[in-house]
A and B are shown apart, each in its own frame.
Chain A
Amino acid sequence: MFGLPTQDEPIPFDELPLDDPLLFDEPAGVVIPDIEWSAIAPNLILMLGGILLLTVVSLVRGRTPSWFSAVWTISTAVFAGVTLVPLWQRVQDDGAESVMAGAIGLDGFSLFVTGVMCLSVVLGALLLEGYLRREGLAGPEWYVLLLLSASGGVTMASANDLIVMFIGLEILSVAVYVMAAMHSKRVSSQEAGLKYFVLGAFSSAFLLYGIAMVYGATGTTNLVGIQQFLSETVLTQNGLLLAGFAFMLVGFGFKVGAVPFHNWTPDVYQGAPSPVVAYMASGVKVAGFAGMIRVFVVTFGPTYGADWRPMVYALAMLSLVVGSFGAIVQTDVKRMLAYSSISHGGFILVAVAANSEAGTAAALFYLLVYTFMIAGSFGIVTIMGRTGDGLHALSDYRGLSKARPGLALLFTVFLLAQAGVPFTGGFLAKFYVINSSVSQGQYVLALIAMSAAVVAAFLYLRIVVAMYFDGNTYRGESATLAGPKVRIPAAAGVALGIAVVGTLWLGILPGQMTSVAGDAVAQLVAIGP
């Protein structure tokens, strides 16, 4: 199903004369696999960028200027993004391959997701810069964790081995647990971090258990190896493998905030520092979905699709319904956006449930668009929270159109994009997803997704109405924007600019990116059809 077959030998020591005792006396006899550094360059850059930053700021006497870390982080992410270009070219020319002894898949899919992760880091860092200064929080550690977390996400997305994927997921998550708790002046931030950590550890255990079961059933943790094994062998007893599916889905479902594993989302989003939420909602979800797609669609899709699809189907349905309906009654904008991100997750799950090339491409495109619009939305929330990051009630947005018309307009664009209004990226993203779903015959799911979008539109409208209309005659009094003056740090302004340009660009001229998403899916590390 997935393009060119490239099968790297998963177990290179097969060929080694293992029973030759002489070999073991000679350490030189161990053949260390070829490390192709260039193939993992983006990941390495993010990793080294983070660690170097940590080193530099520890060695420099006195405090580094606050912009230094932000600039460093952004340049690192951009640099990592630039290295994607030759790799992309290479993959498009020579096809996908697995590197690092089969542990890493170098393919269009991983490069695409890496690009989205870099974007999410850039946006997150831009938002963080002004935020840290406003809140009086010191520390390059935020940026270090951001970069390392992104490297974890990249590892996860490009992992061709379940162990590597799990480690990537932990790198990604642990860093985010810490970042969620890092606003040392807010109790709710620490509470959010703790909650996220406890529940995250709980779900990771499920994932690990699932991995162990799949290993037990197939005898390898290498994804291509698993795929090979499953395509060649008919399991007379598939209980172990299928139980592994269920457990792994719990782990991934938690990361992407799918109902019923979503409970943490509103609380954590509400409590965690807003720029971190921007990264959490975009980067973490992107990586989570990338892992899920690589495991379920790419690896198990061709052979066991019929078994896992109903589960994803159910998760998608629940996420859409709970996400849309739950959002309606919230009064806190961060919680609203949390529920809406659950609903978006449901949409992407619809694409995953399609279990097709078109579905995967739709999911990739959705993730890209989603990163722009959700990071933009939380960027606005970051700015609107004002000192203390606490003004997030819907009523705090009342009259924003009068006080900061530009900000209100930007937020409107992001919200309309989330609602799926044409000529914004959100429309096409939803469109492709539903299209992929309908072409797989999932009419009911498509119908539910459409209806959920309708219900969710009401939520976005509520925020827009609060910003524009309620300002004039709320309870008879002319309400102006309450609270301290809204200041837009330059960096955050840049972030919002990038986000809005991205959102509109993908809505008006999506051709380029949809074909890139299509090419990304055409080049996947997998065995042939």
Chain B
Amino acid sequence: MDLIWLVPALPLLGFLTLLVAGPRMGDPKSGWFATGAVAASFAVAVALFVDLQSMPEYERQVTQTLYTWMPSGSFEVSIGFLLDPLSSIMILFITGIGALIHLYSIGYMKGDPKFSKFFLYLNLFLASMLLLVLGDNLLLTFLGWEGVGVCSYLLISFWHTEPANATAGKKAFVTNRIGDAGFMLGTFLVFVTFGSINYADLRPAATGIAAVTATAIALLFFVGAIGKSAQIPLFTWLPDAMAGPTPVSALIHAATMVTAGVYLITRLNPIMAQAGWANDVIAWTGAVTALVAATIAVAQTDIKKVLAYSTVSQLGYMFMAVGTQTYVAGVFHMITHAFFKALLFLGAGAVIYSMAHEQDMRRYGNLRKYLPVTFVTFFVGWLAIAGVPPLSGFWSKDEILAGVFNYGAAGPALWVVGVLVAILTAFYMTRQLIMVFFGTEQWRGVAPVPAGAVLGASGAGAGDTAPEQEAESPTVQLGEGSDEPTAHDDHTGHGDHHLMPSHEPKEAPWTMLAPLVVLAGMAAIAGLMNLPFSDQFKRLEHWLYPMIVFENPLPEGPTLVGLAAVAIAAAVVGIWFAFFVYVKRRLDPARIELPILAEGWKIDSTYAAVVGGPGEATFQGVADADARIVDGAVNAVGRGSLGLGTLLRKLQTGLVRTYALGVAIGTVALLAFIVTRMNL
């Protein structure tokens, strides 16, 4: 138990070592070193888990304080770690999947000029993520929260020779800062309310606080969670974040960092239990996000973007769960999703790797013949996410749907949304599977798509070779509208996306395939954690039970079976419909892949228009008004009649007077106020 600190310390050590010796170790030694550090951390996590399991149920809460960081006054904050059922299970899958993705990256990043730097960032990321999860108080969690944000920013911009990648990084950073403001304010409010920000102190005190306060705290933290976990309205950064290398997408933007919001809400469940309608807000935000993102995913043609929107959608599912206070189901889905989505991303990465960094699914096809291992593992991931029993995704999704159904009056409505999303999920994932691994070999002899090609009338869906204009990049960066951004996982050295006609895709090296196989295994069996059949199968529920104050009970008996049947039906319908459209070609895919969906309901471009247009104008206006408080007239007169130099000289000499006038006006304002305070 004294080893808790080792869990984040090992990746941190890896980071520091690579910082010093990384370039000297080079490719692939630095990668192996980083992987080793994370694997060691995983080993410690396992040991801790076993240790914790051997303790009596209500003592499973171990705090280890390293040192007091901010000792002054009443506000005391320590660097301390809290190991309890929730954090122990989180660190298990974070370090486990982290180690696998590190291993995978050794192959994927081979030959990259910044090879060691990549692992340096990855290790730093894991250290921050573990700090986030293990921190025993809100501030420490916030530090991890910030740290993962920064790493995410650095890794998205990793190949920052592409301006789009750098701007995508910036976008992620700024979006996350909005969320961070919510987190910080929530922390202060917690401190003011409870007099402490330690999780251990929150739980006993939470029952005594006013509902209004609890609601406010819950909403503030939810704002933070929205930013980090890419929910409406702050979700647009996540699809853009696909500009980063694929292992990053798998680790950060699917398995770990983006679930931090769900973790946070679960961690604060004692407050959430008092928070009243804030829970409804969370649940509905999750539901709407899940639905909107799923519809967008239907029309994407970039292999990673489908998965990105799918991640947003699945995160919405998790928020639906924690919003309806079905925390166990939320955590359960978070874990299974981490497995199968990491698997899908890594599979997609293997495909991209084999196809020389081509990401457009319309240029794939029939790859199962060439990439058998990738295909099988991807297939498992597909079954899992589509919700086909008995794979893991089915169990967790079913549990969420059951919990949601049981949630008061709004439950059935939320449930309907959930089922719709389940159908859509099965549909777009099947579409992806078909486009990538079945059908005709579109990559043979395809010439590069000429820029600005006419939008072809596509009559045959996946089999259609007509080059379409790349309308699927709805992203416009903050303030820099002239750049044409793409989410292509691309960097110099892979300038040409297109295979030579004679070239045939080959399987990736074993370092990339081994993680796929392990993850596929986990994605298949992770459902065993929490099976609904009888009490003894509900292991996760029992494990988490001590730290959850109020859990929305799942329906029993026939209702549960009925709901499960509907969930299975939803998966089947989705898969069948995709089969109907893309294999049987009974329906023109163009009628489903609507342009508005491809453009993400134009949400992103609307933001960009607002931020880039009126928003920037506002910034400019503030600065203008500030720099030339009362001299708007100067611009009018000056620009018309005088040369620029004269105008500016005029400004220069005028400014002292103008500034003095500013001081005088300020004085008038202060005096005017103070006169109202006088008792005359």
Do A and B touch, yes or no (CB under 8 Å, in the complex)? Answer: yes
Report yes or no: A435 in contact with B191, Cβ–Cβ below 8 A. yes
Q: Is the C-beta of A447 less than 8 angstroms from some C-beta in chain B?
A: yes
**Interface code B642-680, partner A: CB below 8 Å = 1, 0 otherwise?**
000000000010011011101101110111011101111
B663 adjacent to A202 (CB under 8 Å): yes
Contact residues in B for A421 (Cβ distance below 8 Å): 146, 150
A461 to B170, CA, bound (A): 8
- Does A473 lie within 8 Å of B660, measured CB to CB? no
B666 touches A260 (CB 8 A): yes
Does A74 belong to the interface (CB within 8 Å)? no
Task: Kindly report which residue of chain A lies nearest to residue B76, judged by CB atoms.
Answer: A511
A457 and B665 within 8 A (CB):
no
C-alpha gap A243/B618 in the complex (Å): 35
- B671: A residues at CB distance < 8 A: 243, 246-247
Could you tell me if A473 and B163 are in contact, using CB atoms closer than 8 angstroms? yes
**Alpha-carbon gap, A198 to B655, bound state (A):** 11
Q: How many A-B residue pairs have CB under 8 A?
A: 167
A206: chain B residues at CB < 8 Å are 663, 667
Residue B173 at the chain A interface, CB threshold 8 Å: yes
Tell whether B147 is near chain A: CB-to-CB under 8 Å. yes
Please report the C-alpha to C-alpha distance between residue A54 and residue B188 in the assembled complex, in whole angstroms. Answer: 51
The reply to whether A195 and B673 contact each other, CB–CB distance below 8 Å, is no
Q: What distance in Å separates the Cβ of A304 from its nearest Cβ neighbour in chain B?
A: 9
> In the assembly, what is the distance between CA of A527 and CA of B157, in Å?
57
B304 → chain A closest CB, angstroms: 22
Task: Tell me which residues from 129 to 147 in chain B have a Cβ below 8 Å from any Cβ of chain A.
Answer: 139, 142-143, 146-147
Bound CA–CA A145/B249 (angstroms) = 57
Contact A422 B623 (CB under 8 A): no
Check if A261 is an interface residue, CB within 8 A of chain B: yes
Q: How many positions in chain A have a CB within 8 Å of any CB in the partner chain?
A: 72
In this assembly, does A75 line the interface, its C-beta being within 8 Å of a C-beta of chain B? no
**Candidates A238, A329, A465; contact of B679 at CB < 8 Å:** A238
- Give Cα A329–Cα B184 distance, bound, in whole angstroms: 27
Q: Which of B71, B184, B674 is within 8 Å of A514, CB to CB?
A: B71
Please indicate the chain A residues that have their CB under 8 angstroms from the CB of B188 in the complex: 434-435, 438, 446
Judge if A264 is at the interface, Cβ distance under 8 Å: yes
Q: Given A242-B674, A325-B623, A454-B177, are A472 and B667 also a contact pair (CB < 8 Å)?
A: no
In the complex, are the beta carbons of B679 and A454 less than 8 A apart? no
- A233-256: CB near B (< 8 Å → 1, else 0) gives 000111100110111011001100
Please state if B666 and A261 are interface contacts (CB–CB under 8 Å): yes
Assess whether A263 is in contact with B189, with CB atoms less than 8 Å apart: no
Nearest A residue to B160, CB-CB: A469
**Any chain A CB within 8 A of the CB of B606?**
no
Known: A237-B679, A329-B619. A246 touches B674 (CB 8 A): yes
Q: Quick one: which of A267, A431, A434 has the most chain B CB within 10 A? A: A431
Q: Are B674 and A245 in contact (CB under 8 A)?
A: yes
| Measured CA separation A453–B656 after assembly (Å) | 30
Among B174, B674, B678, the residue within 8 A (CB) of A311 is B674
Q: What 1/0 mask marks residues of chain A from 161 to 179 whose CB sits below 8 Å from any chain B CB?
A: 0000000000000000000
Closest to A249 in B: B670
Please, which residues of chain B bring their CB within 8 A of the CB of A328? Answer: 619, 623
Within 8 Å of chain B (Cβ to Cβ): is A141?
no
Asked if residues A322 and B72 are in contact (CB atoms below 8 Å), the reply is no
Chain A nearest Cβ from B514, distance in angstroms: 34
A sample of 17 inter-chain contacts (CB < 8 A) reads A198-B660, A206-B663, A206-B667, A236-B679, A237-B679, A246-B674, A431-B139, A432-B75, A453-B181, A454-B174, A457-B174, A469-B160, A472-B160, A511-B68, A511-B70, A511-B72, A515-B72
Which residues of A are at the interface with B, using a C-beta cutoff of 8 A? 191, 194-195, 198-199, 202-203, 206, 236-239, 242-243, 245-247, 249-250, 253-254, 260-261, 263-264, 266-267, 306-307, 310-311, 314, 321-322, 325-326, 328-330, 358, 361, 421-423, 428, 431-432, 434-435, 438-439, 446-447, 450-451, 453-454, 457-458, 461, 465, 468-469, 472-473, 509-511, 514-515, 517-518
Binding site for A on B (CB under 8 A): 68-73, 75, 139, 142-143, 146-147, 150, 157, 160-161, 163, 166, 170, 173-174, 177-178, 180-181, 184-185, 188-189, 191-192, 618-620, 622-623, 626-627, 629, 652, 655-656, 658-660, 662-663, 665-667, 669-671, 673-675, 677-680
